Amino acid sequence: MSNSRAGKSAVLPEQWSRSQYTALPLANREVSFLAFDNRVLELASDPKVPLLERLRFLCISSSNLDEFFEIRVAGLKQKILGGIEGAGIDGLSPLQEMAIINTEAQALVEKQYQLLNDVLIPELAQEDIRFFNRQSWTPEISSWVKDFFSNEIGPVLSPLGLDPAHPFPRLTNKSLNFIIDLRGVDAFGRESGFALVRAPRSLPRVVRVPAEICGVRDGFVFLSSIVHSQIGSLFNGMDPVGVYQFKATRNSDLYVQEEEVANLRRALESELVQRNFGQAVRLEVASNCPNRIVRYLQRQFQLEHEDVYRVDGPVNLNRLLAIPDQIDRPDLKYPSFSPHVSPAYDSGASIFDNIAQRSPVIFHHPYESYVPVIDLVRQAALDPEVLAIKQTLYRTGHESAFVSALMEASRRGKDVTVVIELRARFDEAANIELATQLQEAGIQVVYGVVGFKTHAKMVLVVRREKKKLVKYAHVGTGNYHATTARAYTDISLLTNDNAITEDVHRVFTQLTGLGQTLNLRKLLQAPFNLHSSVIVRIRHETDIATQGGSGHVIARMNSLVDPGVISALYDASQAGVKVELVVRGICMLKAGVSGLSENIRVVSVLGRFLEHSRIFWFQNKGKGLLYLSSADWMPRNFFNRVEIAVPLEGASMKRVKEECLDIYLKDNTFAWQLDPDGTYRRLVPELLEASENSDGADNAFSAQQFLMDRFDGTHLDH
């Protein structure tokens, strides 16, 4: 791949075209996402989930919806404004799609607030966790609020009376704001009108009230209630007859024509300045806000009636996410769980000895510790025999152990190369800062390939052993982020397999030198052969079934969108191949439809940990063929990103298939099955018949709980 244009031309023959799949039965992508967010919301209403964790799920559902509007709805609105009327691959025009989204999203928001007001807040109150609204304030709370406002809030607020000299300001994306309806004469003898108060992001959205003031250990008031109650002090001599909170969600996508800029980093830095001020796509307002004020806000943000969401509660619902961490109630949270290292791994030995003696070494996070992955880079930095370290970074988090180790390696004179993806959505600013930090430490930093995000998760260490160079590699399904490694389910592979490490070396060489792709011995790579290889393997199962044999495909991913793969899966189903898919989020495939996909089963498993692994298994005439990958089955992953998939064999394949696929297909507690009508149905454990020793019980099975039990205390020697 000598340049970006050559890179793109290399994949064009493999890419799908809309015309090729116009008759393909597909679900709508955006509606499928909203169905996923509804499943997240179901966890917030599930009494089997600890109460404070249910509050977290409510906040996650709200945060998901924000990002959906910032990116997906924003893009759809741009199509509409651009006059694009043609139907998408699912048969819906942008206007039709937007109409469905409006209906579904409004219903989702209504359910969020009903759950908060009618279920969670009352149940929290029963546990002495109280949210005090203004109507329930005692004189003691009112007095405390007044003092708190005077000392902590009022000094940082800047009220803005709106008139020709003070026009409606540019309000940042998702900021909390108040519009005030004033009556009376201002200081200059003029009739007052509207005013604005912006709540700086530095202010907490929920404020703890001292126990001696409110009478409970965990009492809170919303910032919006505090501001509302004290708004009169900001407008002396005028009467605030109405105070209404609102929030505007804006287009937050970045638009950089990568092939037309001289410096990608500088172009992104310039674009980031404008991110908070993109075109508004949604307006959330207090439910009691008068129509005339709503229409006024609509005009300011250039939004239509259907873009307005009236909410009965705080407009910044996801800010409640801070509450569980402020409350010391282990009984209302998930039980503590500490990842462990398998006894098959000697934590006291050199990481290189561990890999050499046990390769391949598999870790299943977060059930198993992420420390060995960090140790690979940390020990490589200190080992005098290590000559070079190469690593891809997509999202790393603050104060990353990987970054510290890489910088130490550079200080010790090792050759360190880091491929940073600047365009990791919503982490662009952090990655630009990280790139600067690494470069100042003498590390060679490259930003991947123009036009293609580098999403592959790879580390390569080159070490001198007995007068020869030996390579060690880590390949994973998740980012190099120690914090998310405790919350996301992912697979790590540590190996010194010559074929795999040489393939990883060749991919790194391509990313930095932009040379033509060399033949890889074991790895599959996007944007070159990953898509075609997946389809070839599905078709191989189809051919086996057509000839009277048994075909079977099991795959797990975050999203399934690619029409080429979906078409191949439909063909496989019609040939009799058994297809089982564990798809956490978006799924455009229609499952269980007679004559089309009756042999395809799709389940979505959610729970305490975010399901993040991508695993693909093909029966392959009983021989088994399994890949772990960084890629979902989406066009962007196949054609617009650098991704890899690495095969596992023998005991490693058997283990990963069991823990990541078979166990999840048995889940009947936190799993939803996609039905032929396109809806998701939560699975319910069946009731077992009573026996002499039992009065009957259900056969409830949770994949995540099973794995936590497996790795908690008694560990299998893999």
Please indicate, yes or no, whether residues 141 and 205 belong to a single structural domain of this protein: yes
Q: How confident is the model at residue 274 (pLDDT cuts 50, 70, 90)?
A: low
Please indicate, yes or no, whether residues 234 and 383 belong to a single structural domain of this protein: no
Please indicate, yes or no, whether residues 550 and 640 belong to a single structural domain of this protein: yes
Say how many Å lie between the first and final Cα of the chain, rounded: 40
Of 522, 543, 563, the residue that ends a domain is: 522
Query: Can you read off the two tokens belonging to residue 129?
Result: 């966790």
Residue 343 in any domain: the answer is no
Q: What is the mean pLDDT of the chain?
A: 89
Residue 337 in any domain: the answer is no
Can you give the pTM of this predicted structure? 0.91
The total domain count for the chain is 3
Distance CA 447, CA 56 (A): 35
* H or E segment and range at residue 647: strand 641-648
- We report the CATH number of the domain holding residue 163 as 3.30.1840.10
* H or E segment and range at residue 101: helix 94-115
Please indicate, yes or no, whether residues 112 and 257 belong to a single structural domain of this protein: yes
Please give the residue that has the higher pLDDT: either 602 or 94. 602
Please indicate, yes or no, whether residues 625 and 544 belong to a single structural domain of this protein: yes
Please indicate, yes or no, whether residues 318 and 366 belong to a single structural domain of this protein: no
DSSP SS3 for 710:
helix
| Nearest by Cα to 258 from 457, 418, 423 | 423
282 annotated to a ligand binding site:
no
Q: How confident is the model at residue 235 (pLDDT cuts 50, 70, 90)?
A: confident
655 annotated to a ligand binding site:
no
Residue 340 in any domain: the answer is no
- What's the pLDDT score for residue 5? 32
Q: How confident is the model at residue 687 (pLDDT cuts 50, 70, 90)?
A: low
Q: How confident is the model at residue 345 (pLDDT cuts 50, 70, 90)?
A: confident
Distance CA 416, CA 54 (A): 44
- What's the pLDDT score for residue 185? 66
Our measurement of the distance from residue 370's CA atom to the centroid of its chain's CA atoms, rounded to an integer in Å, reads 19
pLDDT tens-digit readout, 606-663? 999 999 999 999 999 999 999 999 999 999 999 999 999 999 999 999 999 999 999 9
- What's the pLDDT score for residue 714? 43
**Amino acid letter, 548:** G
- We report the CATH number of the domain holding residue 596 as 3.30.870.10
pLDDT tens-digit readout, 363-376? 999 999 999 999 99
The average pLDDT across 219-239 equals 90
| Cis amide bond preceding 360, omega within 30 | yes
Of 502, 522, 542, the residue that ends a domain is: 522
- What DSSP line would sit under 156-225, residue for residue? G---EE-BTTBPPP-PPTT--EEEEEEESB-TTSPBP-EEEEE--TTS-SEEEEPHHHHSSSEEEEEHHH
Residue 346 in any domain: the answer is no
C-beta separation of 525 from 644 below 8 A: yes
- Name the burial class of residue 650, with classes exposed (0-12), middle (13-18) and buried (19+) by CB atoms within 10 angstroms of its CB: exposed
**Which residues lie across from 386 on neighbouring strands?**
463
pLDDT tens-digit readout, 71-126? 899 999 988 888 887 888 888 889 999 999 999 999 999 999 999 999 999 999 99
Please indicate, yes or no, whether residues 473 and 534 belong to a single structural domain of this protein: no
Q: How confident is the model at residue 286 (pLDDT cuts 50, 70, 90)?
A: very high
- What's the pLDDT score for residue 20? 67
Distance CA 157, CA 161 (A): 13
Residue 716 in any domain: the answer is no
**Other CB atoms closer than 10 Å to residue 325's CB: what's the count?**
10
pLDDT tens-digit readout, 411-453? 999 999 999 987 767 667 777 888 888 999 999 999 877 788 8
Active-site positions? 455
Please indicate, yes or no, whether residues 438 and 577 belong to a single structural domain of this protein: no
Which ranges in 519-662 belong to alpha helices (H)?
A: 530-546, 563-574, 635-639, 650-657
The average pLDDT across 195-213 equals 92
- What's the pLDDT score for residue 175? 92
Q: Which of 5-9, 21-25, 466-470, 563-567 has the lowest mean pLDDT?
A: 5-9
Residue 692 in any domain: the answer is yes
Residue 338 in any domain: the answer is no
pLDDT tens-digit readout, 451-463? 888 999 999 999 9
Q: How confident is the model at residue 396 (pLDDT cuts 50, 70, 90)?
A: confident
Please indicate, yes or no, whether residues 387 and 500 belong to a single structural domain of this protein: yes
The DSSP 8-state label assigned to residue 407 in this structure reads H
175 phi and psi angles, rounded to 5 deg: -75, 150
614 phi and psi angles, rounded to 5 deg: -120, 115
Please indicate, yes or no, whether residues 466 and 321 belong to a single structural domain of this protein: no
Please indicate, yes or no, whether residues 238 and 311 belong to a single structural domain of this protein: yes
What does DSSP say about strands 524-526 and 641-648: parallel, antiparallel, or unpaired? antiparallel
Residue 271: pLDDT above 60? no
Q: In what order do the strands lie in the sheet with 308-311?
A: 160-161, 194-198, 177-183, 239-250, 280-286, 308-311
190 annotated to a ligand binding site:
no
- What's the pLDDT score for residue 222? 94
21 annotated to a ligand binding site:
no
425 annotated to a ligand binding site:
yes
For the chain, percent of residues with pLDDT exceeding 70: 89
The 3-class secondary structure across 338-385, one letter per residue, is CCECCCCCCCCCCHHHHHHHHCCEEEEECCECCHHHHHHHHHHHHCCC
Q: In which domain, by residue range, is 444 found?
A: 351-522
Q: How confident is the model at residue 513 (pLDDT cuts 50, 70, 90)?
A: confident
The average pLDDT across 59-67 equals 96
DSSP SS3 for 282:
strand
- What's the pLDDT score for residue 82? 83
Please indicate, yes or no, whether residues 408 and 549 belong to a single structural domain of this protein: no
Residue 668: pLDDT above 50? yes
- What's the pLDDT score for residue 84? 80
488 annotated to a ligand binding site:
yes
- What's the pLDDT score for residue 4? 34
Of 491, 507, 522, the residue that ends a domain is: 522
For residue 542, give every residue at least 6 positions away whose Cβ sits within 8 Å of its Cβ, in sequence order, or none: 551, 568, 571, 572, 575, 577
| Cis amide bond preceding 200, omega within 30 | no
Residue 192 in any domain: the answer is yes
